Structure 1
Amino acid sequence: MKFPYGISDFRSIIREDYFYCDRTDKIPLLENTKSQLFIRPRRFGKSLVLSMLENYYDVAKKNEFEEIFGGLKIGKNPTDLRNSYFILKLDFSCVDPTGSAQDVKKALFNHINGCIDGFYRIYKFKGFDLPEIEIDREDALHSIKSLITAVSMTPHPVYLLIDEYDNFANTMMMGVQRSEGRYEAFVHEEGPLRTFFKAIKASTSGSMLDRVFITGVSPVVMSDITSGYNIAKNIYFEPEFNDLCGFRYAELEDVITRIVDECGFEKKKIQEALDLMQTYYNGYTFSHTADESVYNPTLAIYFLEQFEKSCAYPREMLDTNLAVDDAKLEYIAQVPRGRDILMNLMEKDQRVVASRISKRFGIKDMLTDKSRDNTFLVSFLYYFGVLTIVGDTEDMEVILKVPNLVMQGLYVERIQKMLLPEPEDRDDGRDAAKLVYQKGDMAPLCRFMEDRYFKVFHNRDYRWANELTVKTA
């Protein structure tokens, strides 16, 4: 059995017989809307969805349809639109977010121009009679217009796929090189990202840029673009797409059963492995009416690959490639009340109640959020995978919590770094905590707390020490 760890090329996964959970039955549902925005946390399988659409709709792969899709659900009843588009695919995670706003603009335009140039060369090589596309190295928007003009002289419209639309913009907003005004200059008014999406919006008014599918991590950047691109339907809360990315319990039960049989374990090992995976990797719900939560696919494949190869569970349940970006966590901690929310989430089964999860909100909304339930910040944490939907209160407010043990562990580690930036202090604290739960010896932990946190008090203050003293320290 082969597991596609780190592989997001749909064609390779199917042709080389990798483990794949069929989601091609979602394709007809996706055809109901021409422009869509699909949001999921990082490393949740979004790029594979785009690759599936690319292979299904690409007119140049018409002769490969039976080989790629013949054994899948959509192969039994394909839609009329299959293999009828030129595919233009952009991946904004490839855009360098460092340097000045002008540097990032150049990187963005270089990426767009490179993709358009590749588009022209590949389709010409495959025998399509495309008029020449003029690549403007200084203005990628002109290159887009030239592409649309060229395509209008052919019988095939364009399907535009944009992966990680907010990747470099999020880094500009929250990364280590963030500076005041750089992000805002890029997305507001006539900033490069906003004008790009305005050009895409204008191109969809004709018939040649017929469909657009965009993936990302949060709606913040799209909201900050405002009217630059306000035609995309948000499909990320739709119950029918809850499992478009991610694995269902029954799918994992099937593959675990096969691994247990191959390794010669007793049948009870199946439930043991499933319980372990559920504790560490399950718990993501992306719709209020979804009937089942899903597993993080990257983590699940990491576990399955290790289990199948060695007939033993991974020594580390966390795949280090999923580690949280420290800069983003530090950014959240600097947002009003952000640090308090992160700290509270580390308590056992800590839940958060919010009036709603906001579908659209900009960075200013989050930074100036005065709502009682921190709607925008809670929404932000939900989109980044820190929180997930649990249910609703009687008053129809949303209940959220940390989805699983891996996410809780990731954030405990990062919060330790926030509170104890020096590695030596973290090691001392960890050793002191071990003595409490291993031997019941609290003295070292008390000394640690006093040395690190209570230096701000005089001896006379300890006479009145209480819970407030700890919080103040």
Structure 2
Amino acid sequence: MDKSRKILPVGISDFRKIIEEQYYFVDKSLLIKEIINSGAEVTLLTRPRRFGKTLNMNMIKLFFEKSEEETASLFQGLKIWHCEDTEKYRCEQGKYPVVFLTLKDIKCDSWGETYEKLKNMIQLEYNRHAYLLQSECLTKFDRQYLGRILNMDASDADWQDSLNRLTGYLKAHYKTPAILLIDEYDVPIQQGHMLDYYDKVINFMRNWLSGGLKDNQNLKFAVLTGILHIAQESIFSGLNNLDVYTVLDKTYREYFGFTQEEVDEIAAYYDCKEKSGELRTWYNGYNFGGIDIYNPWSVVKYIRAGNKPAPYWLSTSSNDFVHRIIERSSPETEDALKKVMDGGYLMTSLNTQVVYPTVYDNPDNIFSFLVMTGYLKVNALEELEYGEDYVLCIPNEEIACVYKEEILSVFDVQNEGIIRYSAQLRRALFTGDLGQLDELLHKIIKCSVSFYDIHESFYHGWMLALTSMFYDTHYVRSNRESGKGRYDIMMEPKSARFPGIILEFKVLTENRAKEVEEKLHQLAESALQQINECDYEAELRDRDCRSIIKYGIGFYKKEFSIVKG
């Protein structure tokens, strides 16, 4: 990249730093105008990760915040300073006390760690306003409360009341209402769902946010950002003044992500206009309120990498939650997702208030979550007799890579040897060649399975990952009901020329080495017997599958035995 040009910022969410150090800045300052004009008391803006939420919130903070530092100069070259009725907006600059909190980094393994990080975050914001300890507008009781928060010896009730208290103290001190900004409010909530402390984090967030937002006379207004609108848990209980804008709404649609015009300007500035088609194919395609939006993170990374296309968004955070959705989805949902992965479309209603525990309840919730998080896009809206349905598809080539590399694998299969043997494995599995299958699986298991992997859930996931490679010829399903029970893995052929396959596993958890071979064979025979006795092949028969191969496998660490029926 030409050193004479401004640098494109990667991962910088500090608005002041970008302006003062003259990074390339895509001007989203008219977002401030929209917020002022809306007159909303509380606004929630939901967008996928890495679409500029934190930078925008930092910009809003620096525009409105009353401070000893001069900040008007940061905005004097921007659209907000030169728009129609500009004096109406300029007079709001630097006028209000601001409480600004970002929860984007609160991703912990337990509720205890999460609670400590939440308290640390709150304490740091209180410390930013520690001058209130000297305010003559606060009572002795108020200063004692401030001291408890600052010294980290406050009670649970104190922490839950911290938003309400701080905005009240600021209004008393400045004689003007405060502005409350909370960025990525739902990050710890999703983490809580993934790691089984959801109820605890929801309980805290409900009390904390309600105290700060519900009937709070100390606020000028509040703005929150996140990925989802989590309403059904009463996290915004009784909050009748909440205005929510998702990716489906026209309001605020151009302020998160890059528009076509903005990307054209970037491409012209960095002399890569000839790459416009590649940029569009890889990173355009998000539909926010009816206009096309580019993924800003990936556009910046693409140009900084010398115009090299790659799934940059994929590496920014874990896709664990999407993996869990795929694992628990129905065969119909799997079929629909594989259809869109192959360039097709699906039609569904959308729920903009998806709740984490209910994501798996029905396909509409799953597809709604994938739209809100950026894994699917709305391509069209269909008017139907009973209402409206949305036509969904994959946004672009980058997200297609996410599906192919992450979602369809379900479990992380990293070893290159597995890919090397895939063609041979397919042939052995589909023809029932036990000798070849035994040889190949032994090669793969030695280079990809640990001596300490001894649980059935591991081997189940490992085999599911292997069989998922054959999505082009088979629908691969796991833990579904068929006949008189639930099979481990079923592979339903997409064409009559391929066999249907059923795999059942059993695991020898502990035994003496000299008994392993005999015991594993007995387990494999037992697994095959279970397939037959429970009539797991009933589903394949109902789907007119002409040929069915049944495999029973017994596992023990890096050893196994396989039989066929």
TM-score bracket, shorter-length normalisation: 0.7 to 0.9
The one-character-per-residue Cα deviations of 1:322-357 (angstroms, maximum 9, x if unpaired) are 4552421222124442861674255322222112x2
Task: Name the structure where helix makes up a greater proportion of residues.
Answer: 1
**Distance verdict in 2 for CA 1:297–1:471, change over 3 Å:** farther
In structure 2, the CA distance between the partners of 1:38 and 1:88, relative to structure 1 (3 Å rule), is same
Q: Indicate yes or no: 2:72 matched with 1:60.
A: no
Q: For residue 186 of structure 1, what is the amino acid of its counterpart?
A: V
1:359 aligned residue: 352
Matches within 5 A, 1:214-293: 214-220=224-230, 223=233, 225-227=235-237, 229=239, 231-236=241-246, 237-260=248-271, 270-271=273-274, 273-287=275-289, 290=290, 292-293=291-292
1:446 matched to which residue of 2? 427
Residue among 394, 400, 414 paired with 2:392: 400
Question: What SS does the corresponding residue of 1:225 show, helix, strand or coil?
Answer: coil
Structure-to-structure mapping, 1:305-384, within 5 angstroms: 305-307=304-306, 313-314=307-308, 317-319=310-312, 322-323=315-316, 325-337=318-330, 340=334, 343-345=337-339, 347-355=341-349, 357-369=350-362, 374-384=363-373
Q: Deviations over 1:10-29 (max 9, x none)?
A: 11212222112212123221
Q: What amino acid does structure 1 have at the position aligned with 2:344? A: Q
**Hey, what's the Cα distance between the residues in 1 that align with 2:200 and 2:169?**
32
Deviation at 1:210, TM superposition (A): 1.9
Deviation at 1:156, TM superposition (A): 2.9
Q: What is the aligned partner in structure 1 of residue 520 from structure 2?
A: none
Paired letter, 1:216: G
CA–CA separation in structure 1 for the residues paired with 2:546 and 2:230: 36
Per-residue CA deviations over 1:84-121 (Å, capped at 9, x if unaligned) read 1111111112335322x344334323321222222335
Higher share in strand: 2
Evaluate the alpha carbon distance shift between residue 348 and residue 201 of structure 1 in structure 2; reply closer, same or farther with a 3 A threshold. Answer: same
Structure 1 counterpart of 2:486: none
* Equivalence for 1:34: 41
Tell me the equivalent position of 1:193: 205
Q: Which amino acid aligns with 1:36?
A: T
Higher Cα radius of gyration? 2
Conserved in 1, the CA contact under 8 Å of 2:311 and 2:399?
A: no
Q: What does residue 294 of structure 1 align with?
A: 293
Q: 1: CA distance between counterparts of 2:244 and 2:395?
A: 23
Query: Would you say the 8 A contact 1:197–1:228 is kept in 2?
Result: no
The amino acid of 2:341's aligned partner reads: E
- In structure 2, relative to structure 1, the CA distance for the partners of 1:318 and 1:347 (3 Å cut) is closer
The corresponding residue for 2:491 is none
Letter in 2 for 1:381: L
Coordinate RMSD, CA, aligned: 3.4
Is residue 388 of structure 1 aligned with residue 377 of structure 2? yes
Matched, 1:165 2:185: yes
Q: Deviations over 1:422-447 (max 9, x none)?
A: 73564236x63xxxxxxxxxx77534
How many residue pairs get matched? 422
2:303 match: 304
Q: Distance in 1 between matches of 2:160 and 2:345?
A: 46
Contact 2:245 2:251 in 1 (8 A): no
SS in 1 for 2:208: helix
Distance 1:321 1:327, change over 3 A: closer
Counterpart for residue 451 of structure 2 = none
Q: Which has the higher contact order (CA 8 A, sep 6+)?
A: 1
Question: Unpaired segments of 5 or more residues in structure 2?
Answer: 432-436, 438-465, 468-500, 505-527, 529-536, 552-565
- Using the aligned pairs only, state the percent identity: 20
TM, length-normalised to structure 1: 0.79
Q: CA deviation at 1:386?
A: 0.5
Q: Scaled by the length of structure 2, what TM-score is found?
A: 0.67
CA contact (8 A) 2:336 2:346 kept: no
Letter in 2 for 1:398: Y
Deviation at 1:211, TM superposition (A): 1.2
User: What pairs with 1:449-464 in structure 2 (closer than 5 Å)?
Assistant: 451=437, 454=501, 456=503
Alignment partner, residue 439 of structure 1: none
Q: Which moved more, 1:447-456 or 1:399-408?
A: 447-456
SS of the equivalent of 2:44 reads: strand
User: Which residue of 96, 101, 119 corresponds with 1:85?
Assistant: 96
Paired position in structure 1 for 2:456: none
Counterparts of residues 66-215 of structure 1 (less than 5 Å): 67-76=73-82, 77-78=86-87, 79=89, 80-99=91-110, 101-121=111-131, 131=138, 132=143, 133-136=146-149, 137-138=154-155, 139-151=158-170, 152-174=172-194, 178-179=195-196, 182-187=197-202, 191-202=203-214, 204-206=215-217, 208-215=218-225
Q: 1:96 to 1:248 in 2, by over 3 A?
A: closer
Distance 2:41 2:546 in 1: 55
Alpha-carbon distance in 2 for matches of 1:335, 1:394: 30
Cα deviation for residue 420 of structure 1 reads 7.4
In structure 2, what is the Cα distance between the partners aligned to 1:156 and 1:304? 45
2:513 corresponding residue in structure 1: none
Q: Does the 8 Å CA contact 2:341/2:400 hold for their aligned counterparts? A: no
